[in-house]
Amino acid sequence: MCGCSTHRSGNAGQATTPQDRSLTLRVGDMTCGHCAGTIKRAVEAALPGTEVNADPASKLVSVRGTTDLSAVKAVVAEAGYTPSAAA
């Protein structure tokens, strides 16, 4: 084997893709599927390349493709909801 990073064991040398980045936040006033859909569409439209899973039962919104919490919170707030840090 050569000494390049492609052949090293573990995650060494593996590039991180945008989809590897993620964050989760709590949206206490997300109460139904309509709310979840509104949040999902708003974030995915405002932050291209993101994938959103909004669960009204747990009140959690998971976003893959970014780690910019302030940007996601701003989009959720603009959509009419109150985001906070997930506990």
C-alpha–C-alpha distance, residues 52 and 27, integer Å: 13
Where is 39: in which H helix or E strand?
helix 33-46
pLDDT of residue 86: 83
Predicted confidence (pLDDT) per residue in 7-54, tens digit: 344 444 444 455 579 999 999 999 999 999 999 999 999 999 999 999
User: Is the pLDDT higher at 63 or at 6?
Assistant: 63
CATH of the domain at 48: 3.30.70.100
Predicted confidence (pLDDT) per residue in 39-48, tens digit: 999 999 999 9
67 lies in some domain: yes
Task: Report the predicted TM-score, pTM, of the whole model to 2 decimal places.
Answer: 0.77
How many domains are there within the chain?
1
78 lies in some domain: yes
